[in-house]
Amino acid sequence: MTTADDIFDQSFDNLSRLGLNEIPFTESPVDLGSETLRHVFTGRENELRQVFNQFQSRERRRILIYGRLGIGKSAFLLKVLSVLRRKRPQMLTTYISLPEDLDLATTALIALAREMGDDPWAQRQLYQMGIPTEKVLKERNAEVGGTFGITGKIGEKDLPITKPSFPTVSLETLLERSQKKYPQGIVIAIDDLDKQPPGIVRRLMHDAQGMLKGRAWFMLTGHPIGMAGDLLTTERGLFDLQVQLKELDLPTTYQMLINYLSSARFDNDCTDPKDPRCVLPFLPETAQRLCEVSSGKPRLFNRLGNMILSTAADLQADLITPEVLEQGLRQAGPTLKQRASLSIEEERVRSLLLQKGSLSDESITLNELAELGFRSFSEILPFLERLEEADLAFQQDREDAISFAPVPLPSAEGDA
């Protein structure tokens, strides 16, 4: 009889057959400071140069990183911070993903206070917001262990959770305190601004002007359609540098594949694109094909890579031959769609997109609009954005109009 343990072992063996100790592809970047990011992060030299040039200034700067969904904003931000941590030990770097329902100043306050473990006032701020801190947790545990354990517990529950009334002022105070310890400055990186609706982000940014003019360095990330596009036009001057991340070119994507595979391969960790062993278990031609199909979008690349390796392991293959690759891509098509769990309207928009090759306000006819049940192109936009989010479409770079094209997953087209 096959036990669950056997199945686990089998699963591990199948992957080992491909020469890998794990599947290296991930949806989102692994933690800040981890070795993995250091191994797999590829390209973006120009963008890194622009950002690091800013860091040669004595004066603090405000930097906006923007780009489409899954293009690598978080990975880029984490990369910048990890380099700063190594090169600027006298600088404090903090990272936070923008929480729902919080203004930017309170968010920055939390990011900073979390890094100031031995500052009682900072810890107090966190504690009042109901955010457990290491120090407080330790004290709690000691209390619970003591005679007044039960009262301690009840006391904690009763404590009202309060946001700071003047977060910008509290933040300034915290910055003042931390600057004594970190004379090279404090960096506050706030990721995922665009995960909030554009209207809210606009208000948040508006309210944050005071904070942004304060004494910290800021790095923010967003999507061009969401908050960034808006800021770029109407609030020019708010940022010292705006860096747009675009799709990676083919040679860089190929190098990225090599880096990912080498970080998980048993045998060798070679990274020379001319050496075919560096893309094992892929063959150079199938490696090339994965890179083409993912069209330079890091998250799509990771999703497809993941799907291809899982399929290959299931097939107990030891190489990704063209046949194995096509099977993996066929798997990916429906999975990407499932993940999106498209509504009927989205399906209709997608099939029109596939039919026409691209959609913009110029290329769509009134008839086509009427057939989809829409009156104007702008009514379709949210659906196209949702397809983009699910890696089933991408927005083309055009100066004059918003235009979308389908993500080419040739083998999956049959079921579209």
CA distance 37 to 332: 25
Residue 72 as a binder of ligand ATP (CB under 6 A): the answer is yes
Nearest CB to ligand ATP, comparing residues 174 and 187: 187
Residue 42 as a binder of ligand ATP (CB under 6 A): the answer is yes
Contacts of 139 (CB under 8 A, 6+ apart): none
CA distance 297 to 48: 18
Q: Which residues bind Mg ion (CB under 5 A)?
A: 73-74
CA distance 98 to 82: 19
Residue 395 as a binder of ligand ATP (CB under 6 A): the answer is no
- Give the shortest CB-310-to-ligand ATP separation in angstroms: 16
235 contact, one of ligand ATP, Mg ion, none, CB 5-8 Å limit per kind: none
Which residues, numbered 227-256, are part of the site for ligand ATP (CB under 6 A)? Answer: 256
Contact 222, 68 (CB under 8 A): no
Residue 24 as a binder of ligand ATP (CB under 6 A): the answer is no
Nearest CB to ligand ATP, comparing residues 73 and 265: 73
Residue 214 as a binder of ligand ATP (CB under 6 A): the answer is no
Residue 222 as a binder of ligand ATP (CB under 6 A): the answer is no
Alpha-helical regions (H) of 18-162: 35-40, 45-54, 73-87, 104-114, 120-128, 134-145, 149-158
- Give the shortest CB-70-to-ligand ATP separation in angstroms: 4
Measure CA 375 to chain center: 34
Residue 303 as a binder of ligand ATP (CB under 6 A): the answer is no
Residue 147 backbone phi and psi in degrees, to 5: -70, -30
- Give the shortest CB-115-to-ligand ATP separation in angstroms: 21
- Applying CB under 6 A, which of residues 14, 20, 44, 211 lies at the interface with ligand ATP? 44
- Applying CB under 6 A, which of residues 40, 220, 407, 409 lies at the interface with ligand ATP? 40
Residue 74 as a binder of ligand ATP (CB under 6 A): the answer is yes
Using DSSP, how many helices (H) and how many strands (E) does the chain show?
A: 19, 8
Contacts of 392 (CB under 8 A, 6+ apart): 336, 337, 340, 342, 350, 406, 407
Nearest CB to Mg ion, comparing residues 164 and 198: 198
Residue 43 as a binder of ligand ATP (CB under 6 A): the answer is yes
Nearest CB to ligand ATP, comparing residues 34 and 141: 34
Residue 82 as a binder of ligand ATP (CB under 6 A): the answer is no
Contact 168, 214 (CB under 8 A): yes
Number of residues that bind ligand ATP (CB under 6 A): 22
- Applying CB under 6 A, which of residues 20, 63, 70, 211 lies at the interface with ligand ATP? 70
| Segment holding 407, helix H or strand E | none
Residue 258 as a binder of ligand ATP (CB under 6 A): the answer is no
Q: Tell which residue, 110, 97, 218, has the closest CA to residue 163.
A: 110
263 contact, one of ligand ATP, Mg ion, none, CB 5-8 Å limit per kind: none
Residue nearest to Mg ion (CB): 74
Token couple for 350: 């997608």
Residue 298 as a binder of ligand ATP (CB under 6 A): the answer is yes
Residue 407 as a binder of ligand ATP (CB under 6 A): the answer is no
DSSP 240: S
CA distance 159 to 150: 15
Nearest CB to ligand ATP, comparing residues 72 and 281: 72
Token couple for 253: 């994507």
Q: Tell which residue, 342, 336, 358, 264, has the closest CA to residue 36.
A: 264
Residue 299 as a binder of ligand ATP (CB under 6 A): the answer is yes
CA distance 204 to 206: 5
Residue 29 as a binder of ligand ATP (CB under 6 A): the answer is yes
The verdict on whether omega for the bond into residue 132 sits within 30 degrees of 0, i.e. cis, is no
- Residues that bind ligand ATP in the complex, under the rule CB under 6 A: 26-29, 40-44, 67, 69-75, 192, 256, 298-299, 302
